[in-house]
Structure 1
C-alpha cells in the first residue's frame, strides 16, 4: 500500500472533523436545487408518429415515398422550415417560444416501420406542445402534397385516357362483331379477335392503375396515431432533479471538507 493512499476510514474521520463544512455545502446545494425547481418554467412534451406519404404509381425500382426519410429529417431540421411552422400559428421567430421550439425539436427515424418518423417537441403547456406538433405535421403535409401533385395529376390523366380508349375500342369492337355476324367474313373475325386482345390489355392496365391509386398504396403524409402528451411535465423532473442535486451536494460537501482539512493542516 502507498502512504498517500486514502482509506475509507480516513475519509470518515476527516468528514467527522469537518462535518460542519460538509453539511453547510450539502445544504446549500439542496437549497439551490429547490430554488431551481420552484423558478424553472415547466415543460410538457408532445410525441407524434408521422407516416411519410407515398405514390403507388412510381416507376418500378423507384422509391414510392413522396420524399426519402433522410431528406424529410433534413427538412424538419432546416431552420427556415421551423420558422414557417411558428409563423403559421402566429409566433414570431425571435420569441422565447420559438427558441424553445427550435431547441426542443427532436427526431427519431423508424425506418423499419414503414418508414415512420417520431417527432418530439416541448412547450410550456400541454395544449401548446400539442399545437406545435400538429403545426409541424400540417406544414410537412402541405409540402408533400405540392411535391406529389404533378405525379398524381399524370396518373389521373392516364386513367382518363385509358377510359376513353376503352370506350372507343369497345364501340369499334361491337361494330366489328356486328359485321362479322352479318358477313361471316374470316378477316372480320380476325380483327375481332385482335380487338378483344386489345380490350383485355386496356382493362388490365386500368385495373392495375386503379390498384396503384388505391389508399393502400397511394396516401398522404399524416399522423400514424394521435399526438401523445403526458399529464405530467417532463421538465423539471422532481425525482431526477432532486437526485442530481443530492449527488452534487454530496460531492461538493466532500470537496469542501477535504479542502478545509487541508487548509487546517497547512495552517498548523
Structure 2
C-alpha cells in the first residue's frame, strides 16, 4: 500500500511538472470532438411497434398468426422487402438513404405481447417516421394478401351454412305442418317425429357452427397487421451523441495526456543522467 501511495505521489508530481504535455492532447481531443460534432451528418431514429395480424378460424393446434414471428423478421430483413419499402417512398435503391435504412433497421420481437419493435434511422425526423410507417404498411399489405384466400373461404363457408340452415328450417316447418294436420299412418307419424328430431339437431349444429365462425371472424380474433401506436421520433438526433462523443474525447485525451507527460518526464531524466558531472575543485595531481 505504501508503494502505491509513493507511485501516485510521483505521478502527481510528474503531471504538475509536465502539465503542458498533459493538457495539449486533451485540448486536441476536445477540438477534434467539437469538429466531429459540427461536420457529422445528423441521424434521427424512429421507433415503431408492429402487431402481427391473426386469423380466428385457423384450425385447432395451429398458430393463428398470419405469419410466425421469426418468418416475419426474416422477411423484413430480405433485400426484396426493403426495396419495396424504398420504392413506395420514391427513394433510390443505391443511394445513401437506402444504405442507411438497411444498416440501421433493427427488429426486437416480443412474442408474449404479440409485438415487434422496429427502429430505423434517416437524415431527418420526417423521413425516419416515413420509413417506419412504410415498413409497417408494406408488411400489412403483404399479410392482407396472405389472409385473402382463407378469409374468402371462411365467408363462403358462412354463406353455405346460411343456405343449409334456411333449407333445414324450411324442411322442419314442413314436417311440423304435416304433424299438425295429423295425416298419414302411425308409422308415418313416427318417421316424421324422427325426421323432425334430426332436423332440430341439424339446425342446432348449424347455428352453433355459424355463431362460432362469426365470433372468430370478429375483431377480437381476426385483425390485420398494424401499428398500435404512431412511430416515435425524439426531438434530438440519435447520432452523433454529444455526451458520448465528449466523454470519449475526455477519456482518450486524458489518457494520451498522462502518457505524454510520463514519456516527457522519462526523457528529461535520461538527458539529465547523460550530462557530465562537474569535477570538484582541487581534485588534480
Q: Does the alignment reach a TM-score above 0.5?
A: yes
Partner of 1:158: 157
Are 1:92 and 2:96 an aligned pair?
Answer: no
1:150-229 → structure 2 map (5 Å cutoff): 150-183=149-182, 185-229=189-233
- Structure 2: tracts of 5 or more residues without a match: 184-188, 273-285
SS at 2:121's partner residue? Answer: strand
Q: How far did 1:238 drift?
A: 2.1
Partner of 2:59: 59
Summarize deviations over 1:188-218 as a string: whole Å, max 9, x none: 1221111011001000000000011001100
Q: Partners of 1:167 and 1:245 in 2: how far apart? A: 80
Q: Partners of 2:144 and 2:74 in 1: how far apart? A: 18
Count of equivalent residues: 267
Q: Partners of 1:67 and 1:263 in 2: how far apart? A: 69
Q: Which of the pair has more CA radius of gyration?
A: 2
User: TM (normalized to structure 2)?
Assistant: 0.88
- Structure 1: tracts of 5 or more residues without a match: none
User: What CA RMSD, in Å, does the superposition of the two structures yield over aligned residues?
Assistant: 1.8
Are 1:14 and 2:14 an aligned pair?
Answer: yes
Partner of 1:29: 29
SS at 1:112's partner residue? Answer: coil
Are 1:262 and 2:266 an aligned pair?
Answer: yes
Task: Give the alignment partner of residue 245 of structure 2, picking from 216, 223, 241.
Answer: 241
User: TM (normalized to structure 1)?
Assistant: 0.94
Q: How far did 1:88 drift?
A: 1.4
